[in-house]
Chains A and B, each alone.
Chain A
Amino acid sequence: MTKVALKGLAGRKLRAALSALAIVLGVAMVSGTFVLTDTMNGAFDSIISQSYKNADVVISGKTAFETDSNGNTVQAPSFSETLLAKVKALPDVQAAAGSLTDAKTRLVGRDGKVVATGGAPSLGFSVEPHGDQRFNPLKLTSGTWPDGANQIAIDTGTAKSEHYAVGDTIGVQTQGPIEHFRIAGIVKLPGVSIGAATMSVFDIPTAQKLFHRLGQLDVIRVQSKSGVSTAKLVSEIKPILPPTVQARDVAAQEKQDKKSVNFTSFIKYFLLAFAGIALFVGSFVIANTLSITIAQRMREFATLRTLGATRRQILRAVVIEALVVGTLASVAGLFLGLGLAQGLNALFKAIGFDLPSTGTVFKTRTVIVSLIVGIVITLLASLRPALRATRVPPIAAVREGATLPRGRFARFTPVLSLITLILGVLLLGYGVLAHGLSTGNRLASLGGGILLLFFGVAANASLLVRPLASLLGWPATRIGGAAGVLARDNTMRNTKRTASTASALMIGLALVTLVAILGQGIRSSFESAVDQLLRSDYALTATDTFTPLSVAAERELAKAPNVTAIEGVRAGSARIFGSTRNLTAVDGSLPKVIHLTWKEGSNAIPGQLGNDGAFVDHKFAKKHHLGIGSLLQLETPTRQVLVVHVKGVFKLPNGGSPFGEVTISHQLFDANFRDPQNEMVFVNTRGGVTDANTRTLEQQVKGFADAKIQTESQFKKNFEKPLNKILILLYVLLLLSVIVSLFGIINTLVLTVFERTREIGMLRAVGMTRRQTRSMIRHESIVTSLIGGALGIAVGFFLALLVTRATSSEGIVFAVPWVTLVLFVIATILVGIIAAIFPARRAARLNVLEALQYE
């Protein structure tokens, strides 16, 4: 029987390949995700371990927390360079070298703007040009190590993209205005690309001056004498360290550094979620394709039954076929994933998120997980059709047009479908609206709810096929004439089949619609928040809008003659009530540029914060039961503890706030945070927004390559850019599942054409042209897609309503992007047209005579 199953499969290569495609893409996404994130991790690991080349112990400043609330590494406090000599004097130290590191040393490109890093660090390092370089991870590709106050070395990536060579002059933006350096050398980390990050290298005195760390060091790398254990060396070093400095062995330091690249695991799970969606859609397609082929092979199964095959043998034969298809598809997907990883990387690059990379990392885990996932999903999807196949009665071997008998539970199917749908809706409603659910429970009920909803809609969709096909097929009957009418009627012939084919597309469309509506909601709440909050004429932000700006730019801008009010919003992180929170700082001009609604306090508060005052947002106040007079302890990254009183509580505006949970004064912030930075600066000018004012302000900050003057509308647009990029990313990733459902439509059409061979022959014999035949299949495909699209957009609307209802307190409104939805409908029609190309051609090419004799 196994042989029969395998031979049967070999005899239906095209159909097998078509159904396999449905799984290939999902598996490719799984394997591509693993390859991509493993490669990123490999690159980070390699960068991190190279950074501590030849070092046994690393000495660095202690921080209160290693990463801030946005996941960025916190700059550790520096320490006096006198420590280096003490370390070198220790008996078991073979060698020790001090260096400086900085993540905000921005290089200026040929266009006078800072080189964009898309959130990656702009690294600054020090080297000792005359030392033995044993600890130096960098390699010179040309030139020499920078030596002296005006020399720099830059990374190969920047040199290439900005066309810089040894001997050129390049601008560097750190704390103050741009400073210029001569490029002495070009450097790289061997064997690994650093992605969008940039590197600038200086000698130690230059770095100390540039980073404002005169006489200080950030790191000392220590190598032990041979035969000395690392633990012994650490215990020798510890007694001579000041209290704010720590010594770690290299393994511990690397482990710590790797924590800061944890976001690769977020990327992994994020992408795997989309792989899951594609596989889910793929399972629909597989199940549907198998159901159709099984209906077409009833005679074969019945004959096998008359020859003595048991039901179990039939079940096994179908499952073996699925197993083979699943295995081949998974293997193909596994390798396609290698290519897809490149594609995903290119996608990330395109939205400005270029991550380090190294040689492709293809782990055994990738192989195992991809294969298991692909095979198990195919098997699960095949189970129901396989069980149906076992119900084929032997008498079908002799009877024309026998139909599959309904299963024992078939009469419960409509009720079960309805219950599934209702359960899905209830579970979703519970997950979205219930109060006080733990995150895990909420996610579980949301996930389960969405799954059940999709199953429920798919199971009930056959009831909607007739009305939807009449409605959506109307244009086809107008455009396609007789072929169009036949096409529309064909979609109604087997409503179950049309429903399950359309349902696969429904899933993709529902998610795309959800994303579009939520995106529009976030956008409009953000805009209304800006309208409500912003009172200033201009805003100054970094060129990429989100990187903080040195306060020097604000000071420079304040000198402009036309400025009537200026307010920089400082941004940092502090540990408050045990977790790392966003901390902002303002001064008394705030009410002139930002309109806040105070729950407690007034517009006078920002000017009265002084050295011990703070204001908080109302949610934070509510969560921690804060009111005027409450005490707050803030621990800065450099482990200073600030005690402040709550002086005001403002109402957190819907759609986003420029402030952290806690806001203190500039005075207190600048005294306790190293290198204070503004997330944005708001400016009022005499006469408001005019071209002359714009020019004056731009001229004033010309020395700051990372600063950009914006009007309110530019400000909005720039802030929406990242959102738009995220939307594009989501659309592209969801496109994958739409493509899978497109394969589903192709499958159904190919099988349908195959099944209707005699009928198509008859139509051709009575005068249907090839062109009309093609048009008939095409319209059938479009009507099927449109049914999927209509169901999907409806489900997407429903999901979006639920989500916006749940997040109404966050201010995400329900806003419908009509233009986008129209584009989705057009895309749906395109899916139908594309899916029909191949099956329509097959149908049109049928030989009339042979088709008529076909049985």
Chain B
Amino acid sequence: MSEAAAAAAPVEEPHSGAVVSARDLTRRYGEGETAVDALRGVSLDVPKGQLTAVMGPSGSGKSTLMHILAGLDKPTSGEVTIAGTNISKLNDSDLTKLRRQHIGFIFQFFNLLPMLTAEENVLLPLSIAGEKPEKKWVEQLLSQIGLTDRRTHRPAELSGGQQQRVAIGRALVSKPTIVFADEPTGNLDSTTSGEILDLMRSSVDAYGQTTVMVTHEARAAAIADRVLFLDDGLIVKELGRADPHEVITVMESLSAS
């Protein structure tokens, strides 16, 4: 980490055990009368080794929250700390280094590179960072995502579920401090969704992989250790481990209000 990054140390000590914390995040899009407030003051801590789900109806600001937590977007005000670093003040290259070291991404549309094989896609973050993959770890990971025998296939030759497995492997390969998953099952059928959710849960259980997942599906939220409900730019409710029914009940109460 550069000195600049170190200098941008957190003003407020994060919650002990939290790998990501946010304080008073607001995000306003546009200006004047057409301005939209996507976030209106959100504070949260993501504890280490847990799977946190962010739920909310569309337009609730959940995607914006995740983009800001992951350093993809900048808050209008407020601060985000990842692994002890206040990212609000990082420049592009320090942010890039932070991403390499600490962040993994899982996307709704997989975002695999079509010209690379499954294995190459998985290893991509390491090759970008110029690191040598540890063979044993890669094999373990490939077998966990169930693609050992399809490692030479290209994305076009894989089903949606298989593609998302590759994407999960890619997010885990550099053992990041935190994985952000953006609607990971949003583009999959329900059987496949179940498999993907199981895989995500098992990665948390097996490696203590801290994960934040944005979703609007109750079933997805139900695998989380903690569910945050967002509505109209604010966290309105928080549940511990919940079953889908409880999640749906909360969601319905949000839509009703």
Interface residues of A, Cβ cutoff 8 Å to B: 1, 3-4, 7-8, 10-11, 299-300, 303-311, 313, 393-395, 397-398, 855
The minimal Cβ–Cβ distance linking B88 to chain A, given in whole angstroms, is: 15
* Most chain B beta-carbon neighbours within 10 Å: one of A305, A311, A398: A398
Number of B residues, CB within 8 Å of A? 31
Q: What are 12 A-B pairs with beta-carbon distances under 8 A?
A: A3-B127, A4-B128, A8-B115, A11-B115, A306-B99, A307-B125, A307-B170, A309-B96, A311-B96, A395-B72, A398-B107, A398-B108
Is B4 an interface residue, CB under 8 A from the partner?
Answer: no
Query: Given A303, A308, A310, A311, which contacts B111 in the complex, CB threshold below 8 Å?
Result: A303
In the complex, what's the smallest C-beta–C-beta distance from A237 to chain B, in angstroms? 75
In addition to A7-B116, A304-B113, A397-B72, 7 A-B residue pairs with Cβ atoms within 8 Å of each other are A4-B115, A4-B128, A308-B97, A308-B125, A310-B96, A395-B72, A398-B107
Distance from A4 Cβ to chain B, minimum over Cβ atoms (Å): 7
Q: Is the CB of B113 within 8 A of A309?
A: no
B114 within 8 A of A: yes
The answer, yes or no, to whether B124 is at the interface (CB within 8 Å) is yes
- Per the bound structure, the CA–CA distance linking A299 and B112 in Å amounts to 10
Q: For residue A304, which residue of chain B has the nearest CB?
A: B128
Residue from the set B67, B105, B108, B115 with the largest chain A CB neighbour count within 10 Å: B115
Asked if B100 is at the interface (CB within 8 A of a chain A CB), the reply is yes
Q: Which residue of A lies closest to B109 (CB)?
A: A855
Give the docked Cα–Cα distance between A528 and B113 (Å): 69
Number of residue pairs across A and B with beta carbons under 8 Å?
76
CB distance from B191 to the nearest CB of A (A): 20
Closest to A393 in B: B72
Binding site for A on B (CB under 8 A): 63, 67, 70-73, 92-93, 96-97, 99-100, 103, 105, 107-109, 111, 113-116, 120, 124-125, 127-129, 170, 174, 182
Contact in complex: A306, B128 (CB < 8 Å): no
A394 touches B72 (CB 8 A): yes
| C-alpha spacing A795/B114, complex, angstroms | 44
Report how far A657 CA is from B107 CA in the complex, Å. Answer: 79
Contact A307 B105 (CB under 8 A): yes
B122–chain A nearest beta-carbon distance, Å: 11
Q: Which residue of A lies closest to B93 (CB)?
A: A310
Query: A308 and B129: CB pair below 8 A?
Result: yes
A4 touches B124 (CB 8 A): yes
- Whole-angstrom CA separation of A686 from B92 in the bound complex: 94
CB-CB nearest in chain B for A299? B111
Is the beta-carbon distance between B93 and A311 smaller than 8 angstroms? Answer: yes
- A interface, by DSSP: helix, strand, loop or mixed? helix
B100 and A397 form a contact (CB under 8 A): no
A565 to B116, CA, bound (A): 88
Question: In the bound complex, how far is the Cα of B126 from the Cα of A3, in angstroms?
Answer: 13
Q: Which residues of B contact A300 (CB under 8 A)?
A: 113
Contacts of B63 in A (CB 8 A): 398
- Asked if B72 contacts A4 (CB within 8 A), the reply is no
Contact of A308 among B73, B100, B114, B120 (CB under 8 A): B100
Closest to A310 in B: B96
CB-CB under 8 A from B73, the residues of chain A are 395
**Minimal Cβ-Cβ distance residue in B for A3:** B127
Asked whether, in the complex, the Cβ of B128 is within 8 Å of the Cβ of A307, the reply is yes
Which of A300, A304, A307, A394 has most B Cβ within 10 Å?
Answer: A307
Partner of A10, one of B93, B105, B115: B115
Let me know if A1 and B99 touch, CB within 8 A: no
Give A7's nearest chain B residue, CB to CB: B115
A4 touches B116 (CB 8 A): yes
In the complex, the answer to whether B67 meets A395 with C-beta atoms within 8 Å is: yes
Most buried by A among B71, B109, B120, B182: B109
Which of A7, A10, A313, A855 has the most chain B CB atoms closer than 10 A to its own CB?
A7
Closest 8 A/B residue pairs (Cβ): A308-B100, A11-B115, A395-B72, A303-B111, A7-B115, A307-B125, A310-B96, A309-B128
Residues of A within 8 A of B99 (CB): 305-308, 394
* Nearest CB in chain B: distance from A406 CB, A: 16
CA distance A310 to B222 in the complex (A): 36
A395 to chain B, nearest CB (A): 4
Residues of B within 8 A of A307 (CB): 99-100, 105, 124-125, 128, 170
A21 shortest CB reach to chain B, Å: 22
A398 x B182 contact (CB < 8 A): yes
| A851 to B: closest C-beta gap in Å | 16
Residues of A within 8 A of B93 (CB): 310-311
**Chain A, residue nearest B101 (CB):** A308
- Give the residues in chain B near A310, CB-CB below 8 Å: 93, 96
